[in-house]
Amino acid sequence: MKVLVVGGTGFIGHHIVRELLAHEHDVTVLVRTPPTNLPAAVTVQLGDLTDLSEERLDTVVAGHRGIIVASAAAVAAPRNADIAAFFHDTNVAPVARLLTAACRARCDRAVILGSFYATLQREQPALRLAELSPYIASRIEQAERARAAVNAETSVAVLELPYVAGTTPGRQSPLEPMLHSMSVGNADILAYPGTTAVVTVTQVAQAAVAALDRRANGNYPIVTANLPWTDLFTRLATAAGRPPKRIWKLPPSAIKLLIRREGIRQRRQGFTIGFHPTQWSNLHATAMNLDPDIARTELGVEPDDLDRALAILTAT
């Protein structure tokens, strides 16, 4: 099958491309800059999905039966921008345009890498995630608009991803800078009091290709394990060769202070974070868990070694 991967050189896209090749698919990637780490068998199309003309987009999509959107979504907006409009124009509109073009090209299946915040909103609507955080709202709208852009013959699978562990040449897992930001000297670690879902990049790649092959249609939370933050940060620090002597659980008020401090740092650099600080701090003090059986039963995703993925992450 001929498959177009948008963001095929990114942290996750890199692994999806190799998983597709292992399943003997014909792979094209759409990337902004010429890649240096792709196999020779991959066809490269240069371009930015956010500003491709309609004609150029149709040319890129033509002949492909499957589409995988693996490009990273923006989580911060320029400081003086209309934040809701920015996230719509960056995270939502380009994906809707791509799937509209895919429908014109008679592509019959698509996979989008989404966010586990959409899962939490669906399962706990009282959290009001879409109402209070523009980034989360854009991820939910992204899936809705993508499905609205295609006809009944086109399947759309949205993989709702938590924090991803693993390694990719030249790319960084979100867990790595998070560990550094929570370290105090060489001995102590600050940690959120709640729990979070974590997935290995290998399982994400397996899920993406399985969803494409099976023409899966729906929302699929993808998770390797649900861990207390204290456990996750302990594993990360230990894998990095500096097991913590003490773990300090942060109260919600301290988490809010940390996110506000990060917000100030971002504003000084000209950006605004797309999360509501109080909401974000409350989330990290609760259980951000996903059901691991969904991906196993519906997509056939095999178990993976999370400790190995964390060890690889810290070794790079």
What is the CATH number for 149? 3.40.50.720
9 contact partners, CB below 8 Å, separation of at least 6 = 17, 29, 31, 35, 37, 38
pLDDT in the model for residue 315: 61
Q: Is the pLDDT assigned to residue 183 strictly greater than 60?
A: yes
Q: Is the pLDDT assigned to residue 158 strictly greater than 60?
A: yes
Per-residue pLDDT of 83-126, as tens digits, reads 999 999 999 999 999 999 999 999 999 999 999 999 999 999 98
* Tokens 């039963």, residue located: 297
1 contact partners, CB below 8 Å, separation of at least 6 = 25, 26, 65, 66, 212, 213
pLDDT in the model for residue 190: 87
Q: What is the mean pLDDT of residues 12-29?
A: 97
Q: What angle do CA 160, 162, 166 make, to 5 degrees?
A: 115
Q: Does residue 106 form part of some domain?
A: yes
Q: What is the mean pLDDT of residues 201-210?
A: 97
What is the pTM assigned to this prediction? 0.94
Q: What is the mean pLDDT of residues 7-19?
A: 95
Tell me the pLDDT of the chain averaged across its residues. 91
Range of the domain at 59: 2-171+198-224+289-303
pLDDT in the model for residue 300: 96
**Contact indicator for 140, 84 with CB cutoff of 8 Å:** no
Q: Is the pLDDT assigned to residue 180 strictly greater than 80?
A: no
Q: Is the pLDDT assigned to residue 245 strictly greater than 90?
A: no
Q: What angle do CA 75, 133, 249 make, to 5 degrees?
A: 85
Query: Confidence class of residue 155 from pLDDT cuts 50, 70 and 90?
Result: very high
pLDDT in the model for residue 24: 97
* Number of domains, the chain: 1
Q: Does residue 60 form part of some domain?
A: yes
237 vs 203: which has the higher pLDDT? 203
pLDDT in the model for residue 253: 80
Q: Does residue 264 form part of some domain?
A: no
Q: Does residue 265 form part of some domain?
A: no
Q: Does residue 121 form part of some domain?
A: yes
**Contact indicator for 32, 172 with CB cutoff of 8 Å:** no
pLDDT in the model for residue 9: 92
153 contact partners, CB below 8 Å, separation of at least 6 = 108
Q: Is the pLDDT assigned to residue 172 strictly greater than 80?
A: no
Q: Is the pLDDT assigned to residue 157 strictly greater than 90?
A: yes
Q: Is the pLDDT assigned to residue 63 strictly greater than 90?
A: yes
**Percent helix, strand and coil across the chain, each to the nearest 5:** 45, 20, 30
